[in-house]
Amino acid sequence: MAASDFILNVVFYALAAAAVGGAVAVATSRNIVRSAFALLAVLFAVAALYAVMKADFIAAAQVLIYVGGILVLIIFAVMLTHRITDVKLSNDSTPGPAAFCACLCLLFSLVVVILFTAKWRRDSDVATLNNKVFEVALRQYQSDGSTGIQFGGTALEDSVVVSADVLVVPDASRSVDQVVFTVSAPETRDAGGKDQKETPEKEKEKEPAAKDLDDVSAKDVQVQSTFLPYAGRTQTYRHTFEKLPVGDYHWRVKLVGHEKDVKGELQSAEWTFPAAKTDFSVRKGVTEPIALALAGPYLFAFEVVSVLLLAALVGAAFLARKEVKGV
């Protein structure tokens, strides 16, 4: 496990503990002011979890609106409706074992659904979980002293990240020298063979981006070759292919060594999009897509919500304007 992964795990579990502890404190505390501050902890922890998920704008909005607005409103409600000195009697709760059992059953069913829904598993389903469009489907040892894995797929965006987890054995003489990522153009994949004959103009316009570091044949669009300095542990190697036109592609991740039988193991390979990446290294914020969505297909809904917010604030001001007589 990489160091960034370790930090990510520690941060997540700390935040999860804070959120769960705060939520339980909100549910069980006898003191309503303590409940309000536990809710503050929960809201901050959830904001930090948004940041962990790289939803930076959501995290900022959570802090701004929830902590800065809603929680202040709730604390105002506490202050306006109770004498703050006798908070003991203010937060009475019915001793509900039935409610407790109901919530446990709810939690149990939710956990069962979450853990045993096969669609969320990363096994084989394409394009479901975690941007893992391709998992290890086959592992083959090729005759030229390399371990390769091949995928086919469609590039939906102009930038695609191909990454591979590689385990290199410590035996230096038969170890892996390089990890080669290859993207083949759709025409050449259909051609199939060694020869490349069709659509020369398309090949021409891809040619400046191509880095031919290896002896992989010229039909491949881009080649990235990475040296492996470490042995004996799993490492993740990735390469970003930029400016790919939309289309079907053939991906290949290959381990190349100088001996015939390479003692490396390609543990997994995946193909992800940088806009929704899950790893810690490459980050791209979520602010711009949200802005585009709000100004585009969600513009009407956004305006409706704005009007609703205005109506709610006017209604709240009207309700709290004076004491309502004669109920």
Partner 1 sequence: MSHVFSRNPLEHMLLLSAVIFCAGVYTILTRKNAVSILMGVELVLNAANLNFVAFSQYTRIGGMHGNVFTIFVILLAAAEAAVALAIIIGIYQNFGGVDVDQADNMKE
Per CB under 8 A, contacts with partner 1 among 105-124 are 106-107, 110-111, 114-115, 120, 122
Stretch of 140-148, 180-188, 200-208, 295-303 lying at the interface with partner 1 (CB under 8 A): 295-303
* Burial letters 92-123, b for 16+ CB under 10 A, else e: eeeeeeeeeeeeeeeeeeeeeeeeeeeeeeee
C-alpha–C-alpha distance, residues 203 and 59, integer Å? 44
Instruction: Tell whether residue 246 is a contact of partner 1 (CB under 8 A).
Output: no
Site for partner 1 in 17-46 (CB under 8 A): 19-20, 23-24, 26-27, 32, 35-36, 39, 42-43, 46
The three-class DSSP label of residue 23 is helix
Stretch of 84-92, 201-209, 215-223, 252-260 lying at the interface with partner 1 (CB under 8 A): 84-92
- Site size toward partner 1 (CB under 8 A) is 94
* Out of 130, 142, 154, 281, the residue judged to bind partner 1 by CB under 8 A: 130
Burial class for 74, CB neighbours closer than 10 Å (0-12, 13-18, 19+): middle
> Measuring CA to CA, which residue among 148, 161, 168, 165 is closest to residue 229?
168
Q: With respect to partner 1, which residue has the nearer C-beta, 178 or 272?
A: 272
* Out of 3, 41, 54, 134, the residue judged to bind partner 1 by CB under 8 A: 54
> Measuring CA to CA, which residue among 258, 95, 251 is closest to residue 185?
251
**DSSP conformation class of 94:** -
* Out of 74, 169, 191, 231, the residue judged to bind partner 1 by CB under 8 A: 74
Q: With respect to partner 1, which residue has the nearer C-beta, 104 or 213?
A: 104
Instruction: Tell whether residue 90 is a contact of partner 1 (CB under 8 A).
Output: yes
The three-class DSSP label of residue 140 is strand
> Considering the complex, what minimum distance in angstroms separates the CB of residue 246 from partner 1?
15
C-alpha–C-alpha distance, residues 54 and 39, integer Å? 23
> Considering the complex, what minimum distance in angstroms separates the CB of residue 117 from partner 1?
9
* Out of 57, 203, 248, 274, the residue judged to bind partner 1 by CB under 8 A: 57
318-327, Cβ contacts within 8 angstroms, sequence gap of 24 or more: none
Instruction: Tell whether residue 3 is a contact of partner 1 (CB under 8 A).
Output: no
Q: With respect to partner 1, which residue has the nearer C-beta, 112 or 137?
A: 112
Instruction: Tell whether residue 92 is a contact of partner 1 (CB under 8 A).
Output: yes
C-alpha–C-alpha distance, residues 75 and 78, integer Å? 5
69-73, Cβ contacts within 8 angstroms, sequence gap of 24 or more: 71/36, 71/39, 71/40, 71/43
Instruction: Tell whether residue 327 is a contact of partner 1 (CB under 8 A).
Output: yes
Instruction: Tell whether residue 199 is a contact of partner 1 (CB under 8 A).
Output: no
- Which residue is associated with the tokens 């897509």? 289
Q: Determine the length of the chain.
A: 327
Q: With respect to partner 1, which residue has the nearer C-beta, 103 or 209?
A: 103
CA-derived radius of gyration, the chain: 28
Cα 229–chain centre separation: 29
> Considering the complex, what minimum distance in angstroms separates the CB of residue 85 from partner 1?
16
> Considering the complex, what minimum distance in angstroms separates the CB of residue 95 from partner 1?
8
CB 221 within 8 A of CB 184: yes
Q: With respect to partner 1, which residue has the nearer C-beta, 111 or 218?
A: 111
Instruction: Tell whether residue 141 is a contact of partner 1 (CB under 8 A).
Output: no
**DSSP conformation class of 68:** I
Instruction: Tell whether residue 48 is a contact of partner 1 (CB under 8 A).
Output: no
* Out of 41, 91, 145, 153, the residue judged to bind partner 1 by CB under 8 A: 91
Q: What DSSP element (H or E) covers 314?
A: helix 299-319
